[in-house]
Structure 1
Amino acid sequence: MVTIAVIGLGTFGSSVTEALLDTDTELVILDKDRDIVEKYKNSVTNAYITDAISEATLEKVIPPDVNAAVVDLGSQLETSILVTNHLKKLGVPQIIVKARSDEHGEILKLVGATKIIYPDYDAAVHIAPMLLSSALFNYMQLSENFAIAEVKVRKEIEGKTLAESSLRQKYSLNVIGIRQEGSDEIKAAADPLLVLDNQMILLVAGMPQSILNYTDRHAAGEKQKKDGNVFRKFLHRN
């Protein structure tokens, strides 16, 4: 069984806790807010109320076989850095920490964090591309070199079959699903002879730049150039 510790029940920590409640996971939570801890105490394996999260406290309450720890201590930058370092010393294999800024994130990496979460930025990365392109309905970047997106069927491929559209050859995009505009039901793109029309939304996977290359064609003139540059900023984080 997987054991997860959530240290700090801010927005991110609480969301992780909520997501894990209905799974077969041993969940340990820590926070200084009694009301928040009380809310979850009957649904998790162990719940602790503590103001001072010291190395001794963590060693006492976190199981030695814990698989991962999630740290969300809000604006307590110094505390989050110390807790991350304590967790590393305890040998926690995965330490996922919410950062307030790039500088904060870099320090967290240095002291032991294995994954940094930037909630505000990650939300912007998800939303901004959709604001900049009328061809993009949904966008999720899973890594620096891989993303999934819902895109419109371009005029140049309307009336063609999925095989004839050559999206893989022209744009290095793989079509993994299709839905009708106005419907949430996604069907597998299993039929290469399926004829594409302008009421279809394609679920594609590929590099962020490949998605940009496909959706950029829907803009024109200076707006295309301007929006494309902004889009690239969101697709490629420094």
Structure 2
Amino acid sequence: MTLGDWHDRWERLMARYQPGRERAIERMIDLVASHCDGPAPRVLDLGGGTGTLCARLLERLPAAEITLVDLDPVMLTIAGASLPPSVRVVRADLRDPDWVTRLPSGGYDAVLAVMALHYLPPGRLTELYAELAGLVRAGGLVATVDDMPDEDAVATTSDGGEDPWSTWWEQAAADPVLGPAVVERARLFGDAPSAEWHPPAAWHLRALGAGPVEKAVVAWRNGIQAAVVAFKPR
């Protein structure tokens, strides 16, 4: 099985576990295209995984200068094989404040995170939001999409039965190319479960709005999923 096949299988898996992800990616791209000046925005994709957002953004804005950041060696292996050389793929741990030193430079037009930051604890996520605001140029934006279950939001549930998530990872471990990356992933993350911390949108508004940005807003909501966006003053 090629890495391209693994990318496609991952997309199908995400479509099952995160049914709103596809729409969120398209809305993020619309946001960049409508807000950023010129055809070549500088974009930072946090927790970019296999590079889906990057690839879709390049379809819309081929001249965009994109940097993808992730820590998972399995995701980075697939992204490195799937994305064009113009996309910079950076391995960095967002839990460590020194992660910014691994970036090529600051001055981004947009910093985006799609279903990527829920594993960070409250204190670290608050710090990260301030760091992101510092990476964005005047007039740029920071946007994050995740599950933000406000009281009036309606949750969606996946069907029961088999566990395709475990199956995907078991088969990846047996793959001759991805297998070593799965071993390294286990070394990095151990058996510790993800924090899976999903505060309401109001929490993200306060945390992101505390940085050097204009008032953060909820740009859209789809059930329990919402997008919070903050713009840096010009």
Structure index of larger Rg: 1
